[in-house]
Structure 1
């Protein structure tokens, strides 16, 4: 099979699978068939399936969990999710600047509005880090945690925005892994401890602490990636009031 034929088959399968999500046939949380099952169902090779699944993950439509499979993130709400690709350091800085605006308020709102189911989802996403993960898997697990925080805000625009940023966010997380692989355990410990502070603030419904913990975590993540501090021109000193 030529590279062109493989690309065409992968594109067709991608569109078919995405349609299942957008139509609601595969709702949020659905575990999709394995690569082998999809290859058999659609009479294509596993590399073709793998390429289609990578595109779905990059679009924020599905997420992979080590040893468990791939799951739908946004169900029937899946739509076009495109931000410009990250091409240079300036793009990385811009992405973090945007995330600091969006995710800190989302964390504060999560502290105000979260329910028990939201807490369980956060704990599950957090505990997944302790099961052992490579650099590629780290990005997906970290994104799942941040998406769970956004979903706990009970404002769908936060979780939708996070899904739109999936590719940019995971790109940065994977770079952190590549640049610090020799100290990956330390990196993992740091992220786990920072996530713990976010969860504790949300669990105790302290919106200011949740805001501050998320701001500190994202600032530290940016520093770990860039190797220097990108001092903000402006910082909100308290979360936006939920009204």
Structure 2
């Protein structure tokens, strides 16, 4: 089944290309939403969604009340990861996410504050009210991105931003190929989100690591319809050891 491309995605790609090519140069003010809607023959909400994604990627930003400005040169923009072309690419994305996001969740549990928890809860539960076949990937990504920000590691945040298209693509495919009612799918994902939220809230790094792993593994299974064999699995003591290391800054230092 061919993947439907949303108007906001097309517009996001167009605006991104204009930044990358220098047509929208660093420091320049981009046209107002109404003008962009008129020029591209779309509604303002479509334009707004594309601009929100550009802001989330750090490509544009507001300056007071004068509008949005380009924040980066075309040469400075992250190249990102190559597009998904087949099932093998999707499997690799899930494998990479499993390796990275489980650690992100563990660190978020250790480092998060009350403000982070509010954002994580809001993003995790938004799925109930806003998710549809077209927006499922975007809404789910917000939750994973909120977890990444709570890890207090800018490299994780940047990498998640670069993976956004691949993650959303996979989530939309899950939405298309999943058997059963959409409401059941949302309820299932909400339960998985709640397990992660609970572990991060309790500052239980081991449980957060495990809950995120379960969520990503189940997302992969929902897409593929079968389990992949486990070729290698990290020791269950890894997160506890890492937590112990971060809490004891002098561990591993040699005395003079």
State the TM bucket, normalised to the shorter chain: 0.7 to 0.9
Alignment equivalent of 2:111, drawn from 113, 123, 126: 113
Alignment equivalent of 1:125, drawn from 123, 126, 143: 123
Whole-angstrom distance in 2 between the partners of 1:92 and 1:81? 19
For structure 1, the residue ranges without an aligned partner over 5 or more in a row are 1-6, 27-31, 64-70
RMSD of aligned residue pairs (Cα, Å): 3.6
CA 1:231–1:121 in 2, change beyond 3 Å: closer, same or farther?
same
TM-score, structure 1 as length reference: 0.75
Alignment equivalent of 1:180, drawn from 178, 202, 214: 178
What's the CA shift for 1:84? Answer: 1.4
Q: Secondary structure at the match of 2:232?
A: coil
What's the CA shift for 1:126? Answer: 1.4
Q: Secondary structure at the match of 1:158?
A: helix
Worse-superposed segment, 176-185 or 154-163? 176-185
Computing the radius of gyration from Cα coordinates, the structure with the larger value is: 2
What's the CA shift for 1:12? Answer: 6.5
Match of 1:73 in 2: 56
Worse-superposed segment, 124-133 or 97-106? 124-133
The aligned length equals 215
Q: 2:84·2:166 contact (CA, 8 Å) conserved in 1?
A: yes
Whole-angstrom distance in 2 between the partners of 1:80 and 1:172? 21
After superposition, the C-alpha distances for 1:117-166 in whole angstroms (9 at most, x for unaligned) are: 11011011012112142111111000000010011000011111111111
Q: Secondary structure at the match of 1:121?
A: helix
What's the CA shift for 1:15? Answer: 2.5
After superposition, the C-alpha distances for 1:29-50 in whole angstroms (9 at most, x for unaligned) are: xxx99xxx52426861334989
Match of 2:137 in 1: 139
What's the CA shift for 1:218? Answer: 0.4
Equivalent residue runs for 1:1-243 within 5 Å:
11=14, 15=18, 37-40=32-35, 44-47=39-42, 62-63=52-53, 72-75=55-58, 79-180=77-178, 182-237=180-235, 238-239=238-239, 241=242, 243=246
CA 1:234–1:140 in 2, change beyond 3 Å: closer, same or farther?
same
Whole-angstrom distance in 2 between the partners of 1:132 and 1:48? 19
Q: Secondary structure at the match of 1:72?
A: helix
Structure number with greater CO (CA < 8 Å, separation at least 6) is 1
After superposition, the C-alpha distances for 1:210-232 in whole angstroms (9 at most, x for unaligned) are: 00000000000000000011123
Match of 2:7 in 1: none
What's the CA shift for 1:111? Answer: 0.3
Whole-angstrom distance in 2 between the partners of 1:139 and 1:121? 18
What's the CA shift for 1:180? Answer: 2.2
CA 1:42–1:93 in 2, change beyond 3 Å: closer, same or farther?
closer
